[in-house]
Amino acid sequence: MSKKVGIPKGLLYYNFYPMWKTFFEELGAEVVTSSDTCKKIIDDGIKTCVDETCLPVKTFMGHVIDLKEKGVDYIFVPRVISVERRRYLCSKFLGLPDLVRNLISDLPQIIDMKIDYYRGEEFMEREILRVGKLFVDGTSKIKDAYEKSLKRQRTFECIIREGFSNTEAIKIMEGKKLDANTKGDLKIALLAHSYDIMDDYLSMGLINRLKNMGAYVLTTNMIERDKIEKGASKLQKDLFWNYGRDILGAGKYFIESEDVDGVISVSAFGCGPDSITEDLLERDYKRDGKIPFMSITIDEHTGEAGLNTRLEAFIDLLRWRKGEIMA
């Protein structure tokens, strides 16, 4: 009987799920995800963490508990240190397996693969082989599974660049047929970590709300690398958090290109890095003043009514600027 590997639907699930799933399935494992985020998952996560923890990490803990209750053999909690050279993820990712082990009792075995591309391919190969040997003996089979998973990841990223959200791209990779929503008379850049906006429960369906109001939504992951780099090159000081740098780079790029009608920055309550990047973005947009900017902070108490009112007001402002509605 194949071993069950649980993958929590939180944090970098939205960036790497097709790759991780392929790797484990190629090794003969059955991949099980946690349920969609719901009140119980959030409440379980909140009970587990100290108050100061950011909402996405609290939610992740709730997903780990959900998988524990599903009775899987392993839970995949990678220690993601670096996904590109000379840049790092926030400290919560570096210590995630330790947080999980120390905060939640009676867990199945945690697969704490170190993902650190800064340390080079040789290091990654050692980690891949270490984890792969939990499932098969042959080195070539493990390397082959890794190669296939990298290929799936490239396909996944191409789908996102065609205008699909990460969540839609995951569905497409699983065989669903979807149309890219590149229509909409307003083009809005939604600058945020993927896990803040792709989780419909946490974000209260923010992307769909904007689409239903007639916007074409562009997320950070959809923006071409060269545009982000162009924007990031304008930073006075380079940022070492790679996802925060992507958000700032995209923000800087849109100030110069004026390629969108409006920009919305979404951050999570309790996030240290976001408090810096969001403040820098807001100052830039206020100083420049050409593109309307709005920031939204999500937390466990954010209400739908308040969010809708702010979105409607922002959309009205954008339409008024385009001359579609009279003052």
Under the binding rule (CB under 6 A), the answer on residue 193 touching ligand SF4 is yes
Q: How many other CB atoms sit within 10 Å of the CB of residue 133?
A: 13
Long-range contacts of 133-136 (CB under 8 A, 24+ apart): 134/3, 134/74, 135/3, 135/24, 135/27, 135/28, 135/29, 136/27, 136/28
Q: How far is the CB of 272 from ligand SF4 (least distance, A)?
A: 5
> According to CB under 6 A, which one of 54, 99, 142, 264 is a site residue for ligand SF4?
54
| Residue nearer to ligand SF4 on the CB measure, 4 or 193 | 193
Contacts of ligand SF4 in 250-269 (CB under 6 A): 268
Q: Who's near 15: CB < 8 A, 6+ residues apart?
A: 166, 194, 221
Choose the binding region for ligand SF4 from 27-35, 270-278, 294-302, 309-317 (rule: CB under 6 A).
270-278
DSSP secondary structure letter of residue 234: T
Going from the C-alpha of 317 to that of each of 39, 208, 250, 294, 314, the distances in angstroms are 33, 19, 22, 11, 5
Under the binding rule (CB under 6 A), the answer on residue 273 touching ligand SF4 is yes
The interface mask with ligand SF4, positions 211-250, x = CB under 6 A, is ----------------------------------------
Under the binding rule (CB under 6 A), the answer on residue 92 touching ligand SF4 is yes
Is 145 within 8 Å of 26 (Cβ atoms)?
Answer: yes
Contacts of ligand SF4 in 150-189 (CB under 6 A): none
> According to CB under 6 A, which one of 28, 95, 138, 272 is a site residue for ligand SF4?
272
Going from the C-alpha of 145 to that of each of 21, 48, 129, 151, the distances in angstroms are 10, 35, 10, 10
> According to CB under 6 A, which one of 274, 295, 314, 318 is a site residue for ligand SF4?
274
| Residue nearer to ligand SF4 on the CB measure, 8 or 56 | 56
Q: How far is the CB of 44 from ligand SF4 (least distance, A)?
A: 17
| Residue nearer to ligand SF4 on the CB measure, 239 or 294 | 239
The length of the chain in residues reads 327
Q: Who's near 118: CB < 8 A, 6+ residues apart?
A: 81, 82, 84, 85, 86, 87, 88
Going from the C-alpha of 83 to that of each of 118, 119, 202, the distances in angstroms are 7, 10, 25
Under the binding rule (CB under 6 A), the answer on residue 57 touching ligand SF4 is yes
Under the binding rule (CB under 6 A), the answer on residue 209 touching ligand SF4 is no
Under the binding rule (CB under 6 A), the answer on residue 56 touching ligand SF4 is yes
Under the binding rule (CB under 6 A), the answer on residue 90 touching ligand SF4 is yes
Binding site for ligand SF4 (CB under 6 A): 54, 56-57, 90, 92, 193, 268, 271-274
